[in-house]
Amino acid sequence: MTFQEQITQGIPSVLPQPKPYDTSINHAPKRKEILSEEEKKLALKNALRYFEAKDHAELIPEFKEELRNYGRIYMYRLRPDYRMYARPISEYPGKCEQAKAIMLMIQNNLDYAVAQHPHELITYGGNGAVFSNWAQYLLTMKYLSEMTEEQTLVMYSGHPMGLFPSHSEAPRVVVTNGMMIPNYSQPDDWEKFNALGVTQYGQMTAGSYMYIGPQGIVHGTTITVLNGFRKIKKNPSGNLFVTSGLGGMSGAQPKAGTIAGCVTVCAEVNPKITRIRHEQGWIHEIHEDINELVARVRKAQQDKEIVSLAYLGNIVDVWERFDQENLHIDLGSDQTSLHNPWAGGYYPVGISFEEANAMMANNPEQFKTEVQKTLRRHADAINKHTAKGTYFFDYGNAFLLEASRAGADIMAPNGIDFRYPSYVQDIMGPMCFDYGFGPFRWVCTSGKPEDLAKTDAIACQVLEEMKKNSPAEIQQQMADNIQWIKGAQENKLVVGSQARILYADAEGRTKIAEAFNQAIAKGEIGYVVLGRDHHDVSGTDSPYRETSNIYDGSRFTADMAIQNVIGDSFRGATWVSIHNGGGVGWGEVINGGFGMVLDGSPAASRRLESMLFWDVNNGISRRSWARNEGAIFAIKRAMETQPLLKVTIPTIVDDSLL
């Protein structure tokens, strides 16, 4: 069968032969056993719903074995035989170009070069799933190949509920992931209901089909590291940034450190992903001997090298040894997947990677104890360095939150706040989000590198023109992004689809998108998919990350994310998504995203102007109402440019009166 025939077939009527477990692929760890015997039967019944009754007797023992061996039913035998990657849009079957673009984005999320655990349909973060099983993937692709512009596909946590009549201006796909009743949103609830096959963790851009590989987080991390050094008034050259994690999102850290121009040390316990990052060129060197690492760092500092060093081992050993050696760390952070601490997101010190994985599955309580002991040691070592002048920031991965739950010495003297700021509180919030700057991204659906180069040039031209008349308050943001986009090609950031990211405000996003749409209309480039990370101005309500610099008491509310996705859906988004969970954990955040296909039409111009303006200014208005100075400036400026915008501005109270 051709690729197109396999897509339109969906779940095959004749079962394919079982596939061997491929040990060369990076696999998800075994999930802990959490279902009762009756619940295991329910999980099997739920999985078998996708298949004809004639196949049930054959599939039951196979699915039972998967549930026992891996803690989930992935339906490995249904994995397609074709190569998984983002093909040019013209190669997808279908009746609707928007649907073809969505198929392209789904396959990009599952590309072996992009996905963390591709056979388990997990893109990044240890549990960020596009689908829960391969039947869902096959059925979704079939529906998209059949879709017309008068239909909308409804996605319930990876399950394609079906195609429903709608209209051409409606979103083609509406995605929800993990939307739990609040009292059932603890980590073990995810383990249980995911094992039952009734919900999934979509992370931020995994379950919304908008992940573009590590490039997205490379840019955000580059801005964070650059501004971190600015904050401590140091030039990055010859100075040291220490962190950990080389998996999905965290793999971007050493590349970002290199672009920023510092010495980077990044620890990782997983040998396979460490080698992958080295092969991809995201790290320069791998070191397994801590003594060699210490000597190498000293030389790099002395010679003012720009170099990234991976340590294959536990980050706690690095912090402790560098303290003993009095090796000064300028910037410190962590990006292990501590939103997922008990299922492979963070590993205990003093235990091998293999032993830890076995303990995680077979003795989860002991694994939790060891993780929490490690978090306490981790925090103690960081405290010793910050006492010597290290600037440490939480990188939004729930490090401080989980360390506090483990009893680590991580609280401020008031006993309420953390000792160290979130990077959003100190850097991204006041410097970027409050002014409306966030991770705007696009994908060239032709798959042609030359189209990406043309869009880079268009974006750069737009930004340089805007910078001439931009107010002083946002000159630095404009300059950083012009520098980024000029260096994007030489930094070889593309992994998977021909995609790009830069931080832009509503004006920048709209002008860049309109310039793309005009270029498409002239036949200069193919269709373009617009999107963003959920980690943005208004897409996400996350009290320990995106909205951690909201100080009016509303940071634990989620109105903004819900309003964002509702507003995007009727203002022209091609697809919208809303998720429970994300970078800081299940039950800790609500985040929304979108995708928009530009086809060169006047309708696309109208939709992009309406939707992108709302998508950003919804968040600025909320941040303004929280009395954030930069956001008050930004929303007043937005009202000057758009007469129909009328936003309530807060009155500032004289503290002396209180």
Residue 501: predicted pLDDT: 92
534-549: per-residue pLDDT in tens? 889 999 999 988 999 9
Written as six digits, the tokens of 88 are 């040019």
Q: In angstroms, how far is CA 537 from the centroid of its own chain? A: 15
In a domain? residue 190: yes
Helices (H) and strands (E) in the chain, counts: 22, 17
Cβ pair 496, 115 in contact under 8 A:
no
Same domain assignment for residues 227 and 192 = no
Same domain assignment for residues 294 and 385 = yes
Q: What is the mean pLDDT of residues 281-288?
A: 93
CA-closest candidate to residue 631, choices 506, 533, 482? 506
620-647: per-residue pLDDT in tens? 999 999 999 999 999 999 999 999 999 9
In a domain? residue 76: yes
Give the range of the structural domain holding residue 81, as residue numbers without chain letter: 3-196
Residue 84: predicted pLDDT: 97
Q: What is the mean pLDDT of residues 581-603?
A: 93
> CA 297, CA 300: separation in Å to the nearest integer?
5
- Report residue 141's pLDDT band, with 50, 70 and 90 as the boundaries: very high
Pseudo-torsion of CA 165, 171, 176, 177, nearest 10°?
Answer: 130
**Checking DSSP bridges between strand 590-598 and strand 240-244, what pairing results, if any?**
unpaired
- Which residue, 165, 196, 227, sits at the end of a domain? 196
Residue 580: predicted pLDDT: 96
Same domain assignment for residues 73 and 99 = yes
**Which amino acid is it at 359?**
M
398-423: per-residue pLDDT in tens? 899 999 999 999 999 988 889 998 88
* DSSP bridge pairs for 578: 176, 592
Residues 6+ apart with CB under 8 A from 76: 18, 19, 21, 66, 119, 134
Q: Is 438 annotated as a binding residue?
A: no
Q: Is 582 annotated as a binding residue?
A: no
Written as six digits, the tokens of 195 are 């094992």
Same domain assignment for residues 270 and 404 = yes
Exposed e or buried b per residue across 293-326, where buried means at least 16 C-beta atoms within 10 angstroms of its C-beta: bbebbeebbeeebbbbbbbbbbbbbbbbbbbeee
Q: What is the DSSP letter of 248?
A: T
Q: In angstroms, how far is CA 379 from the centroid of its own chain? A: 25
What are phi and psi for residue 212, nearest 5 degrees?
-125, 30
Same domain assignment for residues 179 and 258 = no
Angle subtended at Cα 341 by Cα 314 and Cα 134, rounded to the nearest 5 degrees: 110
In a domain? residue 228: yes
Q: Is 581 annotated as a binding residue?
A: no
- Report residue 361's pLDDT band, with 50, 70 and 90 as the boundaries: confident
Q: DSSP assignment of 306-372, as one string?
A: -EEEEEES-HHHHHHHHHHTT---SEE---S-TTSTTTTSS--TTS-HHHHHHHHHH-HHHHHHHHH
Cβ pair 325, 341 in contact under 8 A:
no
Cβ pair 218, 252 in contact under 8 A:
yes
> CA 445, CA 55: separation in Å to the nearest integer?
38
> CA 489, CA 500: separation in Å to the nearest integer?
10
Q: What is the mean pLDDT of residues 585-605?
A: 95
Same domain assignment for residues 221 and 360 = yes
CATH classification at residue 394: 3.40.50.10730
* DSSP bridge pairs for 613: none
Same domain assignment for residues 481 and 545 = yes
Q: Which helix (H) or strand (E) holds 286?
A: strand 285-287
Residue 5: predicted pLDDT: 97
Q: Is 125 annotated as a binding residue?
A: yes
- Report residue 576's pLDDT band, with 50, 70 and 90 as the boundaries: very high
Q: Above 90 in pLDDT, residue 16?
A: yes
Q: What separation in angstroms does the CA of 36 have from each of 71, 189, 192, 195, 196?
A: 12, 14, 10, 11, 11
In a domain? residue 642: no
Return the CA Rg of the chain.
24
Written as six digits, the tokens of 361 are 């599955």
Largest CA distance in the chain: 77
* DSSP bridge pairs for 163: 153
In a domain? residue 649: no
Range from 79-88, 316-325, 477-486 carrying the lowest mean pLDDT:
477-486
Q: In total, how many domains does the chain have? A: 3
Q: Which helix (H) or strand (E) holds 38?
A: helix 37-48
Cβ pair 624, 650 in contact under 8 A:
yes
CATH classification at residue 528: 3.40.1770.10
Three-state secondary structure of 580-630: ECCCCCCCCCEEEEEEEEECCCHHHHHHHHHHHHHHHHHHHHHHHHCCCHH
Same domain assignment for residues 458 and 563 = yes
Q: Above 90 in pLDDT, residue 232?
A: yes
* DSSP bridge pairs for 593: 577
In a domain? residue 298: yes
Written as six digits, the tokens of 628 are 């954030």
Range from 185-189, 220-224, 294-298, 596-600 carrying the lowest mean pLDDT:
220-224
> CA 130, CA 478: separation in Å to the nearest integer?
34
Q: Above 80 in pLDDT, residue 250?
A: no
CA-closest candidate to residue 119, choices 29, 34, 4? 29
Written as six digits, the tokens of 489 are 């090609």
Q: 290-302 and 315-324 helices cross at what angle (nearest 10)?
A: 60
Question: How many residues belong to the chain?
Answer: 658
Q: What is the mean pLDDT of residues 372-395?
A: 96
User: What pTM, to 2 d.p., does this model score?
Assistant: 0.88
Same domain assignment for residues 182 and 243 = no
> CA 528, CA 441: separation in Å to the nearest integer?
10
Residue 494: predicted pLDDT: 85
Decide which of 271 and 583 is more confident: 271
Q: What is the mean pLDDT of residues 74-85?
A: 97
**Checking DSSP bridges between strand 151-156 and strand 173-177, what pairing results, if any?**
parallel
Q: Is 572 annotated as a binding residue?
A: no
Alpha helices in 468-586 (DSSP H): 475-487, 506-521, 559-571
What are phi and psi for residue 462, nearest 5 degrees?
-60, -45
- Please identify which residue in the block is written with the tokens 């490090």: 399
> CA 631, CA 386: separation in Å to the nearest integer?
31
Residue 416: predicted pLDDT: 82
The mean predicted confidence, pLDDT, of the chain is 94
Q: Above 80 in pLDDT, residue 587?
A: yes
Same domain assignment for residues 231 and 363 = yes
In a domain? residue 638: no
Q: In angstroms, how far is CA 388 from the centroid of its own chain? A: 33
486-498: per-residue pLDDT in tens? 888 777 788 889 9
Q: Percent of the chain at pLDDT above 90?
A: 82
Q: What is the mean pLDDT of residues 383-390?
A: 97
* DSSP bridge pairs for 576: 174, 594
Residue 630: predicted pLDDT: 96
What are phi and psi for residue 414, nearest 5 degrees?
-75, -10
Same domain assignment for residues 250 and 322 = yes
Same domain assignment for residues 21 and 157 = yes
Cβ pair 458, 657 in contact under 8 A:
no
Q: Is 344 annotated as a binding residue?
A: no
- Report residue 531's pLDDT band, with 50, 70 and 90 as the boundaries: very high
- Please identify which residue in the block is written with the tokens 């789904």: 106
In a domain? residue 416: no
Q: Above 80 in pLDDT, residue 249?
A: no
Written as six digits, the tokens of 632 are 């008050």
Residues 6+ apart with CB under 8 A from 243: 250, 253, 264, 265, 266, 267, 315, 332, 333, 334, 335, 395
Cβ pair 183, 588 in contact under 8 A:
no
Q: What separation in angstroms does the CA of 527 have from each of 101, 107, 141, 269, 600?
A: 9, 17, 20, 40, 7
Cβ pair 98, 89 in contact under 8 A:
no
